[in-house]
Amino acid sequence: MIGLAGLAFLLQAAATAPQIPVQLGVTVSADTVTVGERFIAVLRVRAPEGATIDFPTTVDSAADSALTGMELIGKPAIQTLPGTGAVTMTAAYRLAAWDVGLQSLSLTDIVVHYNGQTGYVSVADRGVFVKSVLPADTTLRVPKPLRPAIEISPFNWLPWLVALAALAAALIAWRIWVWYRNRKNAPVDPFTAAQREFDRIDAMKLIQSGDTRRHAALMADVMREYLAARVPEIERSHTSSELLAAGERVHSVANQLGELLWRADLVKFARADISPDDADRLGKSAREVVQTVEDYLVGEEEKARETRQAA
């Protein structure tokens, strides 16, 4: 027995049936899909030769509600198949259903034009079955327990401040040490270096311990080192005679230089004995030579500077 819905469908199909001989075939990629799952429906229409076929490009908005109706994804792929004596075309649709149960494809009618006539081919009776993705009994669903509240504890900056202060103190100490090392190892002028060496040798108290020859040799070597560093013409490798010849410019202020070098050579190379008094006088003479030469050279440098400034 046909119900009211079936009778209405037959009346609609009879009203829209075309007077043009048309053959329709519908193929669906899956008989059953889930909610939201995409599937493909292919419509194939065969009409007499010379007919034109217009496939629908939208779904029938009146067939289903906007929220749960069939959704057309993209545009259909329409293709004309080769053949003689008839026109055969196919249209492939990508669709998705959003309601459960037997769902119509919800496509509008296919329009066929032939010999001045217009016919309509309905696909309202073609559909797909949509199954739910929910469990059979939704009451069996157990919700997840509530997450514990987020506890935000104040950040303790004290350890970081202490570490930062310690790092800053270490950096300052390192910089002080570098400054002291560079200052300690910084080169000094020849005169200052000679005075330091004289003081160091005196502090050794070699005369009091009986090592007079070593005291005399060391004091003479300090004087020679100063002259080689301060007077450009004198070199450290010069012998005593060569030193006297090269240091002619300082003979006028260091007239005792020749005798001092001669006595130092006797002590160093001839192993001559020297009394404590003579060793002390030799050391003092070496100091005097360094002092007088330094004063003379500083005076010359001052004069040269004044001359350059005056020019």
Say which CATH number the domain at 245 has: 1.20.120
Asked if residue 143 belongs to a domain, the reply is no
pLDDT band at residue 7 under the 50/70/90 scheme: very low
> Do 298 and 218 belong together in one domain?
yes
pLDDT at 221 over 90: yes
Q: What average pLDDT does the structure give for the chain?
A: 84
Residues 119 and 176 in one domain: no
With pLDDT > 90 as the criterion, what percentage of the chain qualifies? Answer: 28
- Do 231 and 263 reside in the same domain of the chain? yes
Counting runs of H as helices and runs of E as strands, what totals does the chain give? 7, 11
Same domain flag for 236 and 172: no
Asked if 49 contacts 141 with a C-beta cutoff of 8 angstroms, the reply is no
pLDDT in tens, 223-246: 999 999 989 889 989 998 888 888
Indicate whether 102 and 216 sit together in one domain: no
Same domain flag for 233 and 254 = yes
108 with 182, same domain: the answer is no
Q: Are residues 8 and 102 in the same domain?
A: yes
Which has the minimum average pLDDT: 10-19, 63-72, 195-204?
10-19
Q: Give yes or no: residues 169 and 234 share one domain.
A: no
Residue range of the domain that includes 258: 190-310
| Tens digit of each residue's pLDDT (9 = 90 or more) over 118-138 | 888 888 888 888 887 776 665
Render pLDDT for 240-294 as a digit per residue (tens, 0 to 9). Answer: 888 888 888 888 888 888 889 899 999 888 888 899 999 999 999 999 999 999 9
* Mean pLDDT value of segment 158-179: 92
Q: Which residues contact 55 (CB under 8 A, 6 or more apart)?
A: 43, 45, 76, 78, 89, 91, 110
What is this structure's pTM? 0.42
End-to-end CA distance of the chain: 135
Contact residues for 44 (Cβ-Cβ < 8 A; gap 6+): 24, 25, 26, 27, 88, 89, 90
Q: Give the chain's length.
A: 311
- How many angstroms separate the CA atoms of 191 and 222, rounded? 10
Q: What is the pLDDT of residue 96?
A: 87
Spatial CA neighbour of 286 closest among 267, 260, 265:
260
- 37 and 80 in a single domain? The answer is yes
From the centroid of its chain, how far is CA 228? 56
Q: Stretch 165-172: mean pLDDT, rounded?
A: 94
Q: Is the pLDDT of residue 181 over 70?
A: yes
Question: What are the Cα distances from residue 85, in Å, to 88, 113, 306?
Answer: 10, 16, 123
Domain tally, the chain: 3
CA distance 237 to 243: 9
| One domain for residues 300 and 283 | yes
Per-residue DSSP letter, 139: G
